[in-house]
Structure 1
Amino acid sequence: MLIDKYSMDILCFCETWLKPDRMLFKVNNFSVASAFNRSSIGGGTLILCNNSLRYKERKDITACSVDRLCEVACAEVEGQIFLCVYRPPASNLTSFLIIIEEILNKLINDNKLVFVCGDLNIDLLVDSSDKSKLLSLFSSFNLKCIFKEATRITPTSASCIDNIFTNCNIKDSSLISGVR
């Protein structure tokens, strides 16, 4: 219902918990464009694309994934790059940033629009050295943060650990709809 309501064509999921050999669900008119599944329980990333779009998996990027550290799916869709990233909360931030920098070096050199979305488990609402390091890395690739408000809200807390970074000049965040 949300897919139709917001006319979504690309869906990115983190913490899919899917096994590599089977999909546990089907979304009408969508196909798997890219996925990373752990060999053990948990984690994982997935990009689904509307069947009307031309896309290809960027296996050179998904090959950079490391279980429980930096899990990525990546697809090139109609000349734009979509990177879905999951960073487990207890993973080593320095190692994670090194992998993300390696990935961004590959992607930015393509001179295409890039969208990095995912669960990074760094709260952008809280000033911290982790936040500074993450924002500095993305900024060095001219990638701007889309959300600066809470993206995960519970009865007792609010955080911004899920986000989208892009080099697209977005003047109106409604261009990226239905992203929560």
Structure 2
Amino acid sequence: MRSRTGEVHDGSLSPACSDQPLHLKLSTISSTKRPVTGNCSSELKTLKFGFINIRSLSTKALLINNLITEHKLDMIGLCETWLKPNTFLPLNEASPLDYNYAHVARASKQGGGVALIYKSILSLSSNQDIKFTSFEALVLKPSSSNSNSLVQGTGFHLVVLYRPPGPYSQFLEEFGEFIADLVTRSDKILIIGDFNIHLNKPSDPLGKAFLRLLDISNFIQLVHEPTHSSGNTLDLIISHGLDVSALNVASVSSAVSDHFLITFEASLACPYVHDTNVVTSHRINPAITATLSDKVPGVLAPFATRSGSPITTPLHQLINSPWHFDNDMRHIPSSFPRGPIIIHRE
């Protein structure tokens, strides 16, 4: 069971770089853990992103889960989740296994809400409180507390944004202040969201002013086709210091949204840090061995005379020895570890 809240959680996705045999020796009783390490080289990692205005996640959570899996997305931004604060079930259902999420609900009134569902190995965190009134935004960056974050140390910032329709003078002022602050924090920025600006209409005054603002701040707007069933370009992908490729805008079932799904790729020059694989084994002292030999005849008897030495008894002999779980396991001392015992034959 995955524990989820509105906060960002860490998790694991990839296997360790190598594997090694594990030896079980008879000595003191303990539970030991050791990492399996290998050669993990740096590489340019390409991530696949998605964005869609979902217009109520509560009834479409499983559809979003399927979209993530079908398009093999590393992360997807959502706006207009329409979730109230402290509502987590739809986000849990929308997130595939080994994915986490972050969400900002609209504090008052109905509607709004922005979220990001992402692979847990990315280990993102949000610590920027957005106070603007003309738009909603979720700002995430690599978690500095997790050394295994895939994008650690890249200076990468990701913003999921939603601007409701309405007067735009306040939006231009607040958004200009927002991106001016962002560029002082990071040199690699992605902003994905529904801006409710008709960029498909060259004469639209908001569209012209918005594009000038982006140009002054060295941001690039990358969507140049309709993103809504009405034919308007409302949902935008904006980058600063990042190369975006393979951008695609595709209609989805009307059961999902009247907005289209935008997918694209962006590469981050960072080490692909594999998670540490922890192997657990138990170590058994002679006293425990003697007790078990009395209670479970024939199986552990060879151990009692080989304290501190590797087990050399053939594995098939151990497996075929009489071990009657129903009767014998009740007599095993409570101090004996109940986890798996891994036996390696040398």
Query: Structure 1 length as normaliser, TM-score?
Result: 0.85
The residue aligned with 2:234 is 161
Counterpart residue type for residue 214 of structure 2? F
| Count of aligned positions | 172
Whether the aligned pair in 2 keeps the contact of 1:34 and 1:47 (CA below 8 Å) is yes
* 1:50-69 correspondence runs (5 A): 50-60=119-129, 63-66=130-133, 69=134
Structure of higher CA gyration radius: 2
Counterpart residue type for residue 40 of structure 1? K
Whether the aligned pair in 2 keeps the contact of 1:14 and 1:43 (CA below 8 Å) is yes
* 1:20-169 correspondence runs (5 A): 20-25=85-90, 26=92, 27-28=95-96, 29-60=98-129, 63-66=130-133, 69-77=134-142, 78=151, 79-90=155-166, 92-127=167-202, 128-153=204-229, 157-169=230-242
Equivalent of 1:16 in 81, 95, 100: 81
C-alpha distance in structure 2 between counterparts of 1:44 and 1:149, whole Å? 25
Q: Which runs of 5+ in 2 are unaligned?
A: 1-65, 143-150, 251-260, 264-346
Whether the aligned pair in 1 keeps the contact of 2:200 and 2:226 (CA below 8 Å) is yes
C-alpha distance in structure 1 between counterparts of 2:205 and 2:248, whole Å? 30
How far does the alpha carbon of each residue in 1:45-81 deviate from its partner, in whole angstroms, 9 at most, with x for none? Answer: 1122211112110324xx2242xx2111111143311
* 1:164-175 correspondence runs (5 A): 164-170=237-243, 172-174=245-247
C-alpha distance in structure 2 between counterparts of 1:39 and 1:57, whole Å? 21
Counterpart residue type for residue 38 of structure 1? A
C-alpha distance in structure 1 between counterparts of 2:242 and 2:74, whole Å? 20
How far does the alpha carbon of each residue in 1:139-160 deviate from its partner, in whole angstroms, 9 at most, with x for none? Answer: 111111111011112xxx3010
Counterpart residue type for residue 127 of structure 2? R
2:262 counterpart SS class: coil
Among all aligned residue pairs of Structure 1 and Structure 2, give the percentage whose two residues are the same amino acid: 24
Whether the aligned pair in 1 keeps the contact of 2:187 and 2:241 (CA below 8 Å) is no
Of structures 1 and 2, the one scoring higher in RCO (CA 8 A, sep 6+) is: 2
Q: Relative to structure 1, is the Cα distance of residues 36 and 113 closer, same or farther in structure 2, using a 3 angstrom cutoff?
A: farther
* CA displacement at 1:3 relative to structure 2: 1.3
* CA displacement at 1:169 relative to structure 2: 4.5
Please report the RMSD computed on the Cα atoms of aligned residues, expressed in angstroms. 2.3
C-alpha distance in structure 2 between counterparts of 1:99 and 1:82, whole Å? 18
Q: Which runs of 5+ in 1 are unaligned?
A: none
C-alpha distance in structure 2 between counterparts of 1:48 and 1:37, whole Å? 18
C-alpha distance in structure 2 between counterparts of 1:70 and 1:54, whole Å? 25
Whether the aligned pair in 1 keeps the contact of 2:189 and 2:242 (CA below 8 Å) is no
Query: Structure 2 length as normaliser, TM-score?
Result: 0.46
Whether the aligned pair in 1 keeps the contact of 2:104 and 2:113 (CA below 8 Å) is yes
